[in-house]
Amino acid sequence: MLTNKQVIDYHQHGFLVVKDFFSSDEIDLLYQTATDETVVNNAFDLNDQDGKKTKLTLWFTAGDDPFGLMSRCKRMIESVQALLGDGEVCHFHSKVMQKEPRVGGAWEWHQDYGYWYKNGFLFPEAMISVMVALTDANKANGCLQVLRGTHKMQRFEHHFAGEQQGADETFVTEAAKISELIYCELKAGDVPFSTPIYYTDLKLTCQRMPDGLLFPPIICLTINPLGKKIFPVSPLFL
């Protein structure tokens, strides 16, 4: 279970990194799943604004495979419940990002809620992104970046940046002037929880990564405050 301080930090800063959330054995199993052809062969390319590619595999149902069980495990649901509050925890979608050494693209600055809003979700505070580090991530190979506290700025307009949805650059520039830039350097098994906050990752600079660098799977979960079906979430159970 998360501590009271962790819950307070999440709401104050807009994100929370929990170290060693998953064990090395669990990460090994998830990594094997991420490199399986069922995931790799279903990936599609998304170009950043410089034309560099990031591969993405996306799905909307938390099944009985290791990724589905990761989403539905007790420690995940209880942690999300502690951060989002009362209501039924539901799964929106999950995705795995695969990036190749040196040539892999970046994710542009964005808010998740910048485009989730257009899917009909009314309450950004009822949504959360959970990232699971399958490999170590640092400044050198392209770790997550966040602008601390920008979840309090509410939703910014988003436009296409390459083939991705990126936040309006004017707003990002102004937000960066008054917000601390945090590099979330992670060890495999660490888990960042984030609100609809700005974040991106760097272009890869690793030259030796035989299998390619697999950036973490991301689970997008929500609390259903309306008490009825909302597109296209599905309930999760302990």
Kindly tell me the number of DSSP H helices and DSSP E strands found in the chain: 7, 14
pLDDT of residue 5: 97
- pLDDT (mean) for 62-76: 91
Tell me 204's DSSP state.
Answer: P
Question: Where are the chain's structural domains?
Answer: 4-222
Tell me 186's DSSP state.
Answer: B
Superfamily of 4-222 according to CATH: q2cbj1_9rhob like domain (2.60.120.620)
Give the β-pairing of 107-111 and 127-131.
Answer: unpaired
Are 30 and 22 spatial neighbours (Cβ–Cβ below 8 Å)?
A: yes
Reported pTM: 0.80
pLDDT of residue 1: 83
Structure confidence by residue, pLDDT tens digits, 94-122:
888 776 665 555 666 777 766 777 777 77
